[in-house]
């Protein structure tokens, strides 16, 4: 019988958690046994038809999957080239793709008998996803969030609290996602026996990058089927934004064996690579180079001395100094290509999509829209671009109104 989540679809990672030269487990000894335990429990759960059935049932009846694919007719006509389709993860319960992984890991925690959950969050969507899954399953949820991010994603802070999560402000370092992960790991090291670390992106020590990818692969697997039904063929290009890289790896996974589909990841260009204020790990060869952050070897924005650099993006969810190791591998093997969109371009794309399609994208997802808008006019009319619209923009309304000066 077919399982909901197919494991072993690719030959990466290897048993040590490596995607080529990227990945691995660079963590304090205290966590090594916990990671072994997690990897074993995950493998068992994936082989268990009951577990997979329960996840599939909840994804259908709770998350609202499958999320639709929408043809962006007016936008496509306006651009006059390729037809643009949107995979609507913004319509998943909680308003973003993060719930796919949060639900999977929360079910795994429950199966492992761990009732205390810690999570980190940047934009707040993973925090909300975790709080949601924990409320539904009756688990205790603690979310670490940088105080800078708490200020710019207030609505998500309220949502987490309303669902009973304990939101812990992080005041160390840059007070954003990187520091929230540091604190979540410190909590996990301290309470490792009772606690499950529900990591929200396709990064961290093995098995997290693999596990998060698998739970998010539903995006690409659904989208592939939906494109065949809607358009009668696969897209020519599939585009997603890349912070840590969970929505993009989930989209890419569905198409990785389809050589005709070009896979494009869009990083946060912030104020532009030359400004130094960005989160474009692949686009700035002076600062983005292989290194280790948060337990995994990948591309890391760092200074000449190996200190992790401050990043900037208007979107909290892309504001991170490293990138999931599988993206570094997909780039190295040239299976996927990576580009960037600046703050200004992303904000413009928010406005464009809102006014042509009646869909307000999250600032993160708007980065992917930027690339589609750039490419579509250069492509033939019978070609297709698929954009993963990873989340909705409600959480960003304050920022969007301020930046686009819509209040004036």
Question: Looking at beta carbons only, is 300 or 385 nearer to another protein?
Answer: 300
269 SS3 class = strand
Min dist. Cβ of residue 292 to another protein (A): 5
- Strands (E) in 147-287, as ranges, are 166-170, 195-197, 237-241, 262-270
- With CA atoms as reference, report the closest residue to 105 among 233, 313, 246, 295: 246
Question: Looking at beta carbons only, is 204 or 254 nearer to another protein?
Answer: 204
- With CA atoms as reference, report the closest residue to 280 among 252, 318, 245: 318
Question: Tokens 């093997």 correspond to what residue?
Answer: 333
Min dist. Cβ of residue 250 to another protein (A): 26
Min dist. Cβ of residue 26 to another protein (A): 5
Question: Looking at beta carbons only, is 32 or 73 nearer to another protein?
Answer: 32
In this structure, what token pair is assigned to residue 219? 């995006």
Are the beta carbons of 147 and 169 closer than 8 angstroms?
Answer: yes
β pairing state of 116-121 and 336-342: unpaired
- With CA atoms as reference, report the closest residue to 316 among 213, 396, 202: 396
Question: Looking at beta carbons only, is 301 or 316 nearer to another protein?
Answer: 301
Which of 87, 98, 178, 287 is catalytic? The answer is: 98
Min dist. Cβ of residue 190 to another protein (A): 4
- H or E segment to which residue 329 belongs: helix 325-332
Question: Looking at beta carbons only, is 32 or 43 nearer to another protein?
Answer: 32
106 SS3 class = helix
Which of 87, 114, 120, 364 is catalytic? The answer is: 120
- Has 390 been annotated as catalytic? yes
- Has 98 been annotated as catalytic? yes
Q: What is the DSSP track for 33-45?
A: HHHHHHHHHHHHH
What is the C-alpha to C-alpha distance for residues 252 and 262, in angstroms, rounded to an integer?
A: 9
Which of 201, 326, 390, 395 is catalytic? The answer is: 390
Per CB under 8 A, residues contacting another protein are: 16, 24-34, 172-173, 178-179, 182, 185-186, 189-193, 290-295, 300, 302, 304-308
Q: How many CB atoms lie within 10 A of CB 90?
A: 23
Min dist. Cβ of residue 69 to another protein (A): 39
Which residues are catalytic, by number? 98, 120, 390
């Amino acid at each position: 019988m077919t399982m909901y989540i197919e494991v072993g679809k690719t030959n990466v990672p290897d048993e040590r958690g490596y995607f080529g030269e990227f990945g691995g487990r660079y963590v304090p000894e205290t966590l090594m046994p916990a990671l072994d335990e997690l990897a074993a429990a995950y493998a068992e759960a994936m082989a268990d038809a009951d577990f997979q059935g329960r996840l599939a049932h909840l994804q259908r009846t709770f998350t609202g999957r499958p999320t639709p694919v929408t043809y962006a007719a007016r936008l496509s006509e306006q651009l006059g080239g390729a037809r643009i389709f949107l995979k609507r993860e913004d319509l998943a319960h909680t308003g973003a793709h993060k719930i796919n992984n949060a639900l999977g890991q929360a079910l795994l925690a429950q199966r492992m008998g761990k009732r205390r959950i810690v999570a980190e969050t940047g934009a707040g969507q993973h925090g909300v996803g975790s709080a949601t899954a924990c409320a539904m399953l009756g688990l205790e949820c603690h979310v670490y969030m940088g105080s800078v991010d708490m200020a710019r994603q207030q609505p998500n802070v309220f949502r987490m609290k309303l669902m009973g999560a304990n939101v812990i402000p992080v005041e160390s370092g840059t007070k954003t996602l990187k520091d929230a992960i540091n604190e979540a790991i410190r909590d996990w090291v301290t309470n490792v026996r009772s606690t499950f670390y529900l990591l929200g992106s396709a990064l961290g020590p093995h098995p997290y990058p693999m596990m998060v990818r698998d739970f998010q692969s539903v995006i690409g697997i659904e989208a592939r089927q939906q494109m065949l039904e809607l358009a009668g063929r696969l897209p020519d290009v599939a585009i997603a934004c890349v912070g840590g890289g969970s929505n993009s790896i989930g989209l890419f996974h569905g198409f990785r064996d389809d050589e005709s589909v070009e896979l494009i990841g869009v990083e946060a260009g912030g104020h532009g690579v030359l400004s130094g204020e960005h989160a474009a790990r692949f686009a700035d060869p002076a600062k983005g180079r292989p290194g280790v952050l948060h337990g995994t070897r990948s591309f890391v924005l760092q200074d000449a001395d190996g200190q992790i650099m401050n990043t900037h993006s208007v979107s909290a969810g892309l504001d991170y100094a490293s990138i999931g190791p599988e993206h570094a591998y997909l780039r190295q093997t040239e299976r996927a290509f990576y580009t960037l969109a600046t703050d200004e371009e992303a904000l413009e794309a928010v406005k464009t999509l809102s006014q042509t399609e009646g869909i307000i994208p999250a600032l993160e997802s708007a980065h992917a829209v930027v690339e589609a808008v750039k490419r579509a006019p250069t492509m033939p009319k019978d070609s297709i671009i698929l954009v993963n619209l990873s989340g909705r923009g409600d959480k960003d309304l304050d920022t969007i109104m301020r930046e686009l000066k819509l209040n004036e």
